[in-house]
Chains A and B, each alone.
Chain A
């Protein structure tokens, strides 16, 4: 065992085993003769489209539709892309759905461990910004290994200690940023201007004014999801909204927008007309 200070914190060299007195638990297994080359994630397969997030007075709202596409095929139409973590945090993910499922499992495990530890020391559980910092580290580390978690994630929550809302974005490149309104993918092009317009109407361009009410926030998100359904070819008219306030997390039932497709009647080749 090398105890030299220069070796502190470094991983063990291949020649050293974790337990030199009980080698059966730590002897490295012999590499199999014909091994497949290691391949990392090259492309997402089953994907979710945009996710929206907005802060309002007293909380945060996230919205995501219920569709997981397989390329251009609308494959799974009842997927919930919003996930509560603890009593005061919600994450929503766009991108590869299998990576999202893995992410949910990992985060649930971490939170469960925290809850078990806090049984003895009564320490408050992870706040939204703690979870966000963890995800940021995780995503950046994976991208640096050329094996990204192929998602764009929004983290929204209520920080009990600071008594304020939290909303942050992390993506597969490890990019992080935080703003009163956020959107991923198509939403960043189409919905973000609408969200910002509604936000700045009340808070002003410097963001220092009052935040919108919960009803106003719901109305803006409904409007944005409708526009996204019109314009995003990989979206579906069935979505959920998650609301986080100091009272906890509420994920709504699926809802749909009223849409107008009658204009298609006037276009040659669309609608019910034959010629």
Chain B
């Protein structure tokens, strides 16, 4: 059982935040300064995006960018959390950031935060690793990295959210709950004997000041974004988001979902495709009756955190493929022969079989099963 969360992309698009009257971005990208989430109206979103990319690139030494552990060389300054290297780096913290990159990235759109997360199971008999966690009705996180650390941190967030609700009778402001875990994570980077948390979050939420999207990293930093993606191969998603974010402002919820799925699809490996088996979507924000049954869903009616996964994602995936002019059923993959294949549960074939269905009959039937073994 892998201890890493192998989701694919976590993308977040903060379009509806833009919709609320913020100015369109102007392209004065700031140099990478490690400032906190800016006060409203100060800068355009492009500044955030580009500076976020800058931050990510510059924080890692060149030799470990793009990630394979085997090419990193160890040095004598990296075994101890409380020892700086001569270059002024804390290597343990940077290695913790690597753990986040092992997890896969998550696209998100704030306000209607659509987290598109590929799920993975280790086999036919195992459940999928849960990547979307509800902290409170108005706050959710998507995780990338060590799931055990994610569980502890998300539990701590839930306690904080609950405490604020009880003591003050209000939902906790999103920036503050993120600040809470950031402070907690920073403590682990400054004490001897403690290791940094090995998980990164994309935190989505909505409070009185509108929708928010934050990236939390094991270094104890938290930055706010209009759209973001973290994890493995997240750069392709970021590229897509940067290219398209101007249209997010006036996009409807279905359009935002399609953007997220497109960004997510950009990060997939060569022969992989988005299927109901490997995609899940979470949303916070005002519901859209065209894609959700508002009357039947309490959370949807109130704009609370809700997740679509497995079968529920099918309609959304179809709408997305239609919007790209692709066949609705998804790519037809090579059908493996029945004999001897039952034992194999390779993800590619599982997904392929799940999405292709049986050709002529409507694919709903096949799509109704999580993973069908190829016939």
Do A and B come together as binding partners? yes
Q: Name A residues whose Cβ lies closer than 8 Å to a Cβ of B.
A: 3, 5, 8-9, 19, 21-22, 117, 120-124, 126-127, 129-134, 137, 161
Q: Which residue of B lies closest to A133 (CB)?
A: B169
CB pair A121–B176 under 8 Å, yes or no, is yes
Q: Which residue of B lies closest to A129 (CB)?
A: B169
Q: A5-B155, A117-B175, A121-B176 are in contact. List 10 more A-B contacts (CB 8 A).
A: A8-B155, A9-B159, A19-B191, A117-B176, A120-B37, A123-B209, A124-B209, A126-B168, A134-B167, A137-B167
CB pair B167–A22 under 8 Å, yes or no, is no
Write the nearest CB–CB distance from B3 to chain A, whole angstroms. Answer: 16
Bound-state Cα–Cα, A137 to B170, Å: 14
CB pair B168–A161 under 8 Å, yes or no, is no
Bound-state Cα–Cα, A123 to B192, Å: 35
Bound-state Cα–Cα, A230 to B127, Å: 76
Interface residue B207 (Cβ < 8 Å from any Cβ of A): yes
Write the nearest CB–CB distance from B118 to chain A, whole angstroms. Answer: 28
Bound-state Cα–Cα, A22 to B170, Å: 37
Write the nearest CB–CB distance from B346 to chain A, whole angstroms. Answer: 34
Bound-state Cα–Cα, A238 to B191, Å: 58
CB pair B170–A121 under 8 Å, yes or no, is no
Interface residue B40 (Cβ < 8 Å from any Cβ of A): yes
Given the interface pairs A129-B169, A137-B166, A137-B167, the reply to whether A123 lies near B193 with Cβ below 8 Å is no
CB pair A22–B191 under 8 Å, yes or no, is yes
Q: Which residue of B lies closest to A19 (CB)?
A: B191
Bound-state Cα–Cα, A161 to B152, Å: 34
Give the chain A neighbours of B159 by CB distance below 8 A. 8-9
CB pair B39–A122 under 8 Å, yes or no, is yes
Bound-state Cα–Cα, A8 to B191, Å: 22
Write the nearest CB–CB distance from A138 to chain B, whole angstroms. Answer: 9
Within 8 A of A (CB), among B206-220: 207-209
Give the chain A neighbours of B299 by CB distance below 8 A. none
Interface residue B287 (Cβ < 8 Å from any Cβ of A): no
Total A-B contacts with CB atoms under 8 angstroms apart: 54
Binary flags per residue of B157-199, CB closer than 8 Å to A gives 1, else 0:
0010000001111100111100100000000000111100000
Which of A8, A9, A122, A130 is B209 in contact with, Cβ under 8 Å?
A122
CB pair B207–A133 under 8 Å, yes or no, is no
Write the nearest CB–CB distance from B17 to chain A, whole angstroms. Answer: 13
CB pair B191–A21 under 8 Å, yes or no, is yes
Interface residue B36 (Cβ < 8 Å from any Cβ of A): yes
CB pair B152–A3 under 8 Å, yes or no, is yes
CB pair B191–A123 under 8 Å, yes or no, is no
Q: Which residue of B lies closest to A132 (CB)?
A: B169
Give the chain A neighbours of B152 by CB distance below 8 A. 3
Give the chain B neighbours of A129 by CB distance below 8 A. 169
Give the chain A neighbours of B209 by CB distance below 8 A. 121-124
CB pair A121–B37 under 8 Å, yes or no, is yes
16 A-B pairs in the complex with CB atoms less than 8 angstroms apart: A3-B152, A9-B159, A21-B193, A22-B191, A117-B175, A117-B179, A120-B37, A121-B37, A122-B39, A123-B175, A123-B209, A126-B170, A130-B169, A131-B168, A133-B166, A134-B168
Bound-state Cα–Cα, A19 to B191, Å: 9
**Most chain A Cβ neighbours within 10 Å, of B159, B170, B179, B209:** B170
Write the nearest CB–CB distance from B220 to chain A, whole angstroms. Answer: 15
Bound-state Cα–Cα, A43 to B173, Å: 40
**Most chain A Cβ neighbours within 10 Å, of B37, B166, B167, B207:** B167
CB pair A133–B168 under 8 Å, yes or no, is yes
Write the nearest CB–CB distance from B138 to chain A, whole angstroms. Answer: 13
Write the nearest CB–CB distance from B177 to chain A, whole angstroms. Answer: 11
Write the nearest CB–CB distance from A109 to chain B, whole angstroms. Answer: 14
Give the chain A neighbours of B40 by CB distance below 8 A. 122
Within 8 A of A (CB), among B17-44: 36-37, 39-40
Write the nearest CB–CB distance from A137 to chain B, whole angstroms. Answer: 5
Give the chain A neighbours of B175 by CB distance below 8 A. 117, 120-121, 123
Write the nearest CB–CB distance from B211 to chain A, whole angstroms. Answer: 13
Q: Which residue of B lies closest to A123 (CB)?
A: B173
Give the chain B neighbours of A21 by CB distance below 8 A. 191-194
CB pair B168–A121 under 8 Å, yes or no, is no
Write the nearest CB–CB distance from A11 to chain B, whole angstroms. Answer: 13
Give the chain A neighbours of B37 by CB distance below 8 A. 120-121
Write the nearest CB–CB distance from A183 to chain B, whole angstroms. Answer: 24
Give the chain A neighbours of B193 by CB distance below 8 A. 21
Q: Which residue of A lies closest to B38 (CB)?
A: A120
Bound-state Cα–Cα, A3 to B39, Å: 38
Q: Which residue of A lies closest to B159 (CB)?
A: A9
Write the nearest CB–CB distance from A173 to chain B, whole angstroms. Answer: 19
Bound-state Cα–Cα, A73 to B344, Å: 90
Give the chain A neighbours of B192 by CB distance below 8 A. 21
Bound-state Cα–Cα, A121 to B40, Å: 9
Given the interface pairs A3-B152, A9-B159, A117-B176, the reply to whether A124 lies near B208 with Cβ below 8 Å is yes
Give the chain A neighbours of B39 by CB distance below 8 A. 120, 122
CB pair B191–A133 under 8 Å, yes or no, is no
Give the chain B neighbours of A132 by CB distance below 8 A. 169
Bound-state Cα–Cα, A122 to B168, Å: 18
**Most chain B Cβ neighbours within 10 Å, of A123, A126, A131, A133:** A123
Give the chain B neighbours of A8 by CB distance below 8 A. 155, 159
Write the nearest CB–CB distance from A24 to chain B, whole angstroms. Answer: 13
Q: Which residue of A lies closest to B152 (CB)?
A: A3
Given the interface pairs A9-B159, A19-B191, A21-B191, the reply to whether A120 lies near B167 with Cβ below 8 Å is no
Write the nearest CB–CB distance from B35 to chain A, whole angstroms. Answer: 10
Q: Which residue of A lies closest to B155 (CB)?
A: A8
Q: Which residue of A lies closest to B148 (CB)?
A: A3
Write the nearest CB–CB distance from B203 to chain A, whole angstroms. Answer: 13
Q: Which residue of A lies closest to B175 (CB)?
A: A121
Give the chain B neighbours of A19 by CB distance below 8 A. 191
Which of B36, B174, B194 is A120 in contact with, Cβ under 8 Å?
B36
Q: Which residue of A lies closest to B176 (CB)?
A: A117
Bound-state Cα–Cα, A8 to B162, Å: 14
